[in-house]
Chains A and B, each alone.
Chain A
């Protein structure tokens, strides 16, 4: 389907057999080989960098891995004084804040992207897209400040009313201090929305006109066209933008540490303070003394790497199953 839509009648291909066999040197001089080598080395460098990263994290976390084994992942005590390290509160905080951030960001981001690509006049769309891309370039410490000076006061004012209605739910129970998983997730959502918007919009705009025309010919409304022809067509690109947003949310450090409360505990309530992996590494790495402590922090880095991989794999799996159910248009 995609191929049929994209194939353009144009440049005739030169029949293969007519090409003269070239020596390596000739190809080098013509540039093909140069480009090949350059692009290949670019691709290799990614593999090498990732490999080195994992290798380093692995080697420099050896002491912590040997001391705690799998317990490291599932215990909740983080006590540098007595050399007891458990990563669970950080893993939990990282996953909770990232997932919650996506839950908030996906509808907003996707809605904005659809509006910009399908509904808004071109001029408004371009102006708004520029703004969105500007948002993506704001340093995270600024978002942290926005969190402290804008978001937290607003949440603190609104929360008593909210809790009156929803306070009976365990996830909204307890005292709200302003700093919490929820605040961190909201800030993260604001940070990742631009990624979802700008990529999704590009993908939506790239959907061929024939797709829309075919749907319209069947008598569909404008919204039907968007939702049932355009969005499914662009699904893969949209998912890509969500992965990128997820990766950003999982690894975000500065903005999160400023609004999450930095308490190594596991709470059911989203309004309780917590901690994330990236935040604890940034907070404690500079002053960490002693090999075990240092190795435990580096092992946290390894865990973050693994968590990112696993969540990404799960998301991809989800996408594959979704595609399986979909009737191809």
Chain B
């Protein structure tokens, strides 16, 4: 601590005459702990740069970025073509997506008498959330869990009530594994749920799961790790049951990197990789290609570069899965597009 303070003091004096630069960003609440950690670490290294990040939600972040009230945005679901066109028209610049870390959704449940880790097939999850599978001892669930005696109780489905990237990831996965879901419900940060109760935030969902017997819900991997919440394994596209952890989530990104489009707007749910956990997602920083203030631009660029390289080591302690190296290399290439 003292050493850090000393370093800070030295750095502060050294750059006392350097210009103070303040970068403001807004968006994703999911990535807030990571970005605020980055901001404080980066400020220690470069005292003249201050990064202010407001976690107002991905939708809000995109709106603020389009309106030009922030320097960068952050989102858990990529911007749509329409939003990109709107930004181009209003701000006169393209917006580039840069994945910064990975998260995942896990199925959590509360079945009295069952303390084992359940295995879920994609068909089981889609069936439960569509309301087709209504009992815990349904053959689709039972066949994946041969050793476990599941009750004939009704399943209580729980989802997020607030719009969120967590929901986006979950329904994006469901619509990839179930054509029925894709046609009937679709993908978004909030959807028209066929069944279930809504809880506000991860804490709301996990609270309902705890309180209601025979319930199932989806929560962020980070939240379940930090709160030691039991969650199940999910079968991936190679037919293997995978438990979500930081490694299997990074594998998902690596698996999807071969087919990653040039603008990085890609969903990595259900990737073609035998080791990957299938309900994983990127979280992105949204960076304008052009900026009128070049000094600010240079600082933003340096911050982004630092985050993608040195900053990655701060991801795992906060339970974010770090980016695979192939993806980082491609992003550093992409950074050359920034015109400042």
Contact B187 A287 (CB under 8 A): no
A207 interface contact, C-beta 8 A: no
User: In whole Å, how far is A195's beta carbon from the nearest beta carbon of chain B?
Assistant: 25
Q: How far is the CA of A262 from the CA of B57 in the complex (A)?
A: 19
Contact B211 A257 (CB under 8 A): no
Residue of B60, B198, B207, B211 near A286 (CB, 8 A) is: B60
Contact A257 B200 (CB under 8 A): yes
A263 / chain B contacts, CB cutoff of 8 Å: 193, 196-198
A257 / chain B contacts, CB cutoff of 8 Å: 161, 200
A50 interface contact, C-beta 8 A: no
Q: How far is the CA of A275 from the CA of B58 in the complex (A)?
A: 23
A80 / chain B contacts, CB cutoff of 8 Å: 163, 188-192
**A261-B198, A263-B198, A289-B83 are contacts. A179–B208 as well, Cβ < 8 Å?**
yes
B33 interface contact, C-beta 8 A: no
B138 interface contact, C-beta 8 A: no
Decide if the interface of chain A is mainly helix, strand, loop or mixed.
loop
Contacting residues of chain B (20-70) with chain A, CB-CB under 8 angstroms: 29, 56-60, 62-63
Q: Mark A220-264, 1 if CB is under 8 A from B, else 0.
A: 000000000000000000000000000000000000011001111
Contacting residues of chain A (163-192) with chain B, CB-CB under 8 angstroms: 175, 177-179
B196 / chain A contacts, CB cutoff of 8 Å: 263
User: In whole Å, how far is B210's beta carbon from the nearest beta carbon of chain A?
Assistant: 10
Residue of A177, A285, A287 near B212 (CB, 8 A) is: A177
B198 / chain A contacts, CB cutoff of 8 Å: 261-263, 275, 283
User: In whole Å, how far is B305's beta carbon from the nearest beta carbon of chain A?
Assistant: 28
B162 interface contact, C-beta 8 A: yes
Contacting residues of chain B (263-306) with chain A, CB-CB under 8 angstroms: none
- Most B-side CB within 10 Å, residue of A80, A178, A262, A279: A262
Residue of A81, A175, A283, A287 near B185 (CB, 8 A) is: A81
Contact B57 A286 (CB under 8 A): yes
B208 / chain A contacts, CB cutoff of 8 Å: 179
Instruction: Please classify how large the interface on chain A is, using the bins under 10, 10 to 19, 20 to 34, 35 or more.
Output: 20 to 34
Q: How far is the CA of A289 from the CA of B60 in the complex (A)?
A: 8
Contact A288 B200 (CB under 8 A): no
**A286-B162, A289-B62 are contacts. A79–B57 as well, Cβ < 8 Å?**
no
**A81-B188, A287-B58 are contacts. A148–B200 as well, Cβ < 8 Å?**
no
**A178-B212, A283-B200, A286-B57 are contacts. A148–B162 as well, Cβ < 8 Å?**
no
B165 / chain A contacts, CB cutoff of 8 Å: 287
Q: Please count how many residues in chain B sit with their CB below 8 Å of the partner chain's CB atoms.
A: 37
**A286-B59, A287-B163 are contacts. A262–B191 as well, Cβ < 8 Å?**
no
Contact B162 A283 (CB under 8 A): yes
B164 interface contact, C-beta 8 A: yes
B163 / chain A contacts, CB cutoff of 8 Å: 80, 283-288
B192 / chain A contacts, CB cutoff of 8 Å: 77-82, 84, 264
Q: How far is the CA of A178 from the CA of B213 in the complex (A)?
A: 11
Residue of A153, A273, A283 near B197 (CB, 8 A) is: A273
Q: How far is the CA of A262 from the CA of B200 in the complex (A)?
A: 8
For A178, give the chain B residue with the smallest CB separation. B211
Q: How far is the CA of A264 from the CA of B192 in the complex (A)?
A: 8
User: In whole Å, how far is B129's beta carbon from the nearest beta carbon of chain A?
Assistant: 14
Q: Mark A263-282, 1 if CB is under 8 A from B, else 0.
A: 11000000001010001001
User: In whole Å, how far is A140's beta carbon from the nearest beta carbon of chain B?
Assistant: 13
For A148, give the chain B residue with the smallest CB separation. B207
**A81-B186, A152-B211 are contacts. A287–B164 as well, Cβ < 8 Å?**
yes
B151 interface contact, C-beta 8 A: no
Contact B204 A258 (CB under 8 A): yes
Residue of A178, A279, A284 near B190 (CB, 8 A) is: A284
Contact A287 B190 (CB under 8 A): yes
User: In whole Å, how far is A77's beta carbon from the nearest beta carbon of chain B?
Assistant: 7
A78 / chain B contacts, CB cutoff of 8 Å: 192
Q: How far is the CA of A261 from the CA of B162 in the complex (A)?
A: 12
B199 interface contact, C-beta 8 A: yes
B156 interface contact, C-beta 8 A: yes
Q: How far is the CA of A44 from the CA of B112 in the complex (A)?
A: 61
B333 / chain A contacts, CB cutoff of 8 Å: none
Q: How far is the CA of A287 from the CA of B200 in the complex (A)?
A: 13
B80 interface contact, C-beta 8 A: yes
For B207, give the chain A residue with the smallest CB separation. A148
Q: How far is the CA of A148 from the CA of B208 in the complex (A)?
A: 9
Q: How far is the CA of A264 from the CA of B191 in the complex (A)?
A: 11
Q: Mark A36-61, 1 if CB is under 8 A from B, else 0.
A: 00000000000000000000000000
A82 / chain B contacts, CB cutoff of 8 Å: 186, 192
Contact A287 B189 (CB under 8 A): yes
> Given known contacts A262-B200, A282-B162, what 8 new A-B pairs fall within 8 Å (CB)?
A80-B190, A81-B192, A82-B186, A258-B200, A258-B204, A262-B197, A285-B163, A286-B56
- B residues apposed to A, CB below 8 Å: 29, 56-60, 62-63, 80, 82-83, 154, 156, 161-165, 185-193, 196-200, 204, 207-208, 211-212
Closest 3 CB pairs of A and B: A287-B163, A262-B198, A286-B57
Q: List 16 A-B contacts (CB under 8 A).
A: A79-B192, A81-B187, A156-B211, A175-B154, A177-B156, A257-B161, A261-B197, A263-B197, A263-B198, A283-B162, A283-B163, A283-B200, A284-B162, A286-B59, A289-B58, A289-B189
- A residues apposed to B, CB below 8 Å: 77-82, 84, 148, 152-153, 156, 175, 177-179, 257-258, 261-264, 273, 275, 279, 282-290
